[in-house]
Chain A
Amino acid sequence: MSVLCTYLPNLLLNLTYQARPALVGQPLAILDNAERLLALSEAAVMAGVNLAMTPARAQLTCPEIAFQEANLPAFGQTQQALLETLTGWELPTEEASWGLAYVDLHLVSRQREDVQALAGELGGRLRRTLGAELTPCLGWDSGKFTARAAAMRTLPGRMKLIDAAQEIPFLQPLPITLLPLPPKELRWLDRLGIRTLGQFGALPTAQVQTALGKAGAAAQQWALGHDARPVVNTVTQRFSPIGIPFGQPLHQLDPVVTALMATLQPYLASFAVSCRGLQRLDLELCFGDAERILSLTFVEPTAQEGRVRNHLANQLQTLIWPEQLTKVTITNLQAAELPPPTQLRLFEEAPAAVDSSTEWLAGLRQRYGAVLLRGAITDPTHPLAHRRAALQPVP
């Protein structure tokens, strides 16, 4: 594979500064429609604000912070301009997040020299399209993870191309928080003293798989520079609708949810093993002659069936059904990478120091095995003292 990652650092902040230059240098938070923090200026981060906070909490932490509502149409326009420039080559292009996208150069070039020329040309086109204020960082590697890490570790207006021989030395000192693993597992790794990708990559693969599951094993492969995920063309290729007809019209919720989940389950399973999650799901519901559109958006992409099922059931329950349901069509199913733990979260995570004892015991078991025992008197009348009692593992 040959993946070029384009990254526009601080896209949302830079666009806001263009509209309101007086905000430059001030502690600033950009809010979305649901009043969640979307982006923070460096001054706000230095004052102790993080994306997991609510606006009220952010103001308590930094009283001077300025809140600016996100200009989503303008942001969308810039994002669209970025994607249109990237699709100029008619190569598969995947949109990852604001200002971040991958282009698959596999069909065009796999050599560093060729990529350097192509990336230089792309950088020039992006600068002409987006202006000098929005200078991109480019990263290239054989996998998406390393390409993204390279783009994020280079300066605006520069490119970082990673050869196969450079992958390991480049990845080894980078922090493990670049991997989209759940915070609980990252805390566990931190307790073990594993803080860099190099340390994580050096762990025995079988044990990583046992402890962290398939997603952990995949993440370890990324840490070693082996990322086989293809670039999914989400920009030009649209999702092919999937129709779910019912034999007879339904008026109950359960069979509808079950049928939908049966269709979604293979997608969710494939997302789970590649550290991705469902981000958006659009449904078209046919109630006889009437039609309804239902759109589900997950702020944090998820691959957990339970979460999807609950969200789906909740949305279908609150919808007014004019008649019995005859057909459901999935019109759009959009996946996204699970965010690294430093990204947007709805609620602030509890610090590691206040782990509950249950979590602590689970961590202990995971780390040392069945070392916790409890004594019990099994035969109080036995003539030999050491036979009167036994040690039993605590379940």
Chain B
Amino acid sequence: MARTKRQRLESTVAAIQRQHGARALQKGSELPAQRRPPHVSTSFAGLDAITGCAGIPLGHVTLFTGPLGSGKLTVAYKVLMGAQQAVKKSKSAAPVAILSLNQQLHVDYIQRCAVDLTRLDIYQPPTLEQAVELLLYLAAGNVYRLILVDSVSDLLAMPSLARQLNRALSKLNRLLHATQTGLLCIGEESAPWLARLLHWDQMAPLRRMAGLHVDFDVQQWLDRDGQWRGYRRLATVRKSRWAAAGARAQIDIEFNGTVRAA
């Protein structure tokens, strides 16, 4: 009986493939592995493993969200460091840039995250109204491999700027894709699951556009012999075009004068 069923199935598959081509119906095991986009490592092996593209994809928008102190900015700085190491030669002196919108940039901390300050451009627009236009200009320039926006929540807090950003998103995505520039956006804590589900939060258009969305959460402090030495955070992939959502990884960030991925 089972053999008859299998024979019928195989003859049906063969008939469909004859009529519509061999690629019309394929077994899952025969499918080619999905091609990874160009990417930059996050320096955290566990996090790289769950994003589906071995890090942060270039040519797409990546969104890091989480509450204050959840380590999203530290991971972002580590990504900048990875991008600097990956790009030996670039069109401009610096292959990476930060678009700082909240005027709270800690240069000392960036350096402690092993980012080479001489190869990092920092943009501080005089007013937030110029931020979206400046972002489009940076993306169109094809000068940087990775641009970090710290943080989009500052834009989304103002309805007029949020509308401006949302209107520019499709153009921004096209520019990023054309120039293979990665855009890493830092956002505050994600809205509650119901608000996210119903797209009631301001970040919904950005989340829809993002190729990768990782949420960070506080888990525990790390100490050794009563000495505080770092913290452990939980990264959850909310969305990825290259892997299933929901994957989690623990990341350990250690401090010893410098910040390093454990």
A residues sitting closer than 8 Å to B (CB atoms) are 191, 355, 357, 360-361, 364, 367-369, 371-377, 385-386, 388-391, 394
Main secondary structure of the interface of A (DSSP, over half): mixed
Across the interface, A375 reaches (CB within 8 A) one of B91, B92, B107, B143, namely B107
Complex interface bits, B66-109 against A, C-beta within 8 A gives 1, otherwise 0: 00000000000000000000000001101000000000011111
Q: Is B134 touching A372 in the complex (CB atoms < 8 A)? A: no
7 example contacts (A-B, Cβ-Cβ < 8 A) are as follows A191-B137, A360-B141, A373-B121, A375-B110, A385-B109, A386-B106, A391-B105
Q: A357-B143, A385-B108, A388-B108 are in contact. Are A373 and B122 (CB under 8 A)?
A: yes
- Chain B residue at minimum C-beta to C-beta distance from A364: B137
Q: A357-B92, A367-B137, A368-B134 are in contact. Are A391 and B108 (CB under 8 A)?
A: no
Across the interface, A389 reaches (CB within 8 A) one of B91, B107, B126, B134, namely B107
Q: Is A375 touching B120 in the complex (CB atoms < 8 A)? A: yes
Name the distance in Å between A383's Cβ and chain B's nearest Cβ. Answer: 12
Extra A-B contacts (17), CB below 8 Å, given A375-B110, A388-B108 = A357-B91, A357-B143, A360-B141, A360-B143, A368-B130, A368-B137, A371-B130, A372-B122, A375-B117, A375-B120, A376-B107, A377-B108, A377-B117, A386-B106, A389-B108, A391-B107, A391-B122
Name the distance in Å between A375's Cβ and chain B's nearest Cβ. Answer: 4
On chain B, the residues within 8 Å of A367 by CB distance are 137
Instruction: Report the interface size for chain B: residues with CB under 8 A from the other chain.
Output: 24
On chain A, the residues within 8 Å of B108 by CB distance are 377, 385-386, 388-389
- Is the C-beta of B125 less than 8 angstroms from some C-beta in chain A? yes
- Is the C-beta of B111 less than 8 angstroms from some C-beta in chain A? yes
**CA–CA, A163 to B79, complex, Å?**
63
Name the distance in Å between A362's Cβ and chain B's nearest Cβ. Answer: 12
In chain B, positions 122-163 with a C-beta closer than 8 Å to chain A are 122-126, 130, 134, 137, 141, 143
- Chain A residue at minimum C-beta to C-beta distance from B125: A371
On chain B, the residues within 8 Å of A394 by CB distance are 121
Q: Is A389 touching B111 in the complex (CB atoms < 8 A)? A: yes
On chain B, the residues within 8 Å of A375 by CB distance are 105, 107, 110-111, 117, 120, 122
Q: Is B124 touching A371 in the complex (CB atoms < 8 A)? A: yes
Main secondary structure of the interface of B (DSSP, over half): mixed
On chain A, the residues within 8 Å of B111 by CB distance are 375, 377, 389
**CA–CA, A368 to B94, complex, Å?**
19
Counting chain A CB atoms within 10 Å of each CB, which of B105, B108, B110, B111 scores highest?
Answer: B108
**CA–CA, A364 to B111, complex, Å?**
26
Q: A360-B141, A374-B120, A377-B117 are in contact. Are A390 and B107 (CB under 8 A)?
A: yes
**CA–CA, A391 to B134, complex, Å?**
19
Counting chain B CB atoms within 10 Å of each CB, which of A373, A377, A390, A394 scores highest?
Answer: A373
Q: A385-B108, A389-B107, A389-B108 are in contact. Are A374 and B92 (CB under 8 A)?
A: no
**CA–CA, A361 to B143, complex, Å?**
10
- Is the C-beta of B118 less than 8 angstroms from some C-beta in chain A? yes
**CA–CA, A391 to B124, complex, Å?**
10
- Chain B residue at minimum C-beta to C-beta distance from A382: B108
For the complex of A and B, list the 3 residue pairs with the smallest distance between their C-beta atoms, beginning with the closest.
A389-B107, A375-B107, A388-B108
Name the distance in Å between A390's Cβ and chain B's nearest Cβ. Answer: 7
**CA–CA, A170 to B130, complex, Å?**
32
Q: Is B121 touching A374 in the complex (CB atoms < 8 A)? A: yes
**CA–CA, A389 to B108, complex, Å?**
6
**CA–CA, A66 to B91, complex, Å?**
42
- Chain A residue at minimum C-beta to C-beta distance from B94: A374
Q: Is B106 touching A385 in the complex (CB atoms < 8 A)? A: yes
On chain B, the residues within 8 Å of A374 by CB distance are 94, 117-118, 120-122
Name the distance in Å between A207's Cβ and chain B's nearest Cβ. Answer: 15
- Chain A residue at minimum C-beta to C-beta distance from B104: A386
**CA–CA, A361 to B105, complex, Å?**
22
Name the distance in Å between A40's Cβ and chain B's nearest Cβ. Answer: 31
**CA–CA, A389 to B105, complex, Å?**
10
- Chain B residue at minimum C-beta to C-beta distance from A378: B107
On chain B, the residues within 8 Å of A373 by CB distance are 121-124
**CA–CA, A394 to B134, complex, Å?**
17
On chain B, the residues within 8 Å of A386 by CB distance are 106, 108
**CA–CA, A306 to B57, complex, Å?**
49
**CA–CA, A375 to B126, complex, Å?**
17
On chain A, the residues within 8 Å of B105 by CB distance are 375, 391
**CA–CA, A376 to B108, complex, Å?**
8
- Chain B residue at minimum C-beta to C-beta distance from A386: B106
- Chain A residue at minimum C-beta to C-beta distance from B103: A391
Name the distance in Å between A350's Cβ and chain B's nearest Cβ. Answer: 14
**CA–CA, A254 to B214, complex, Å?**
69
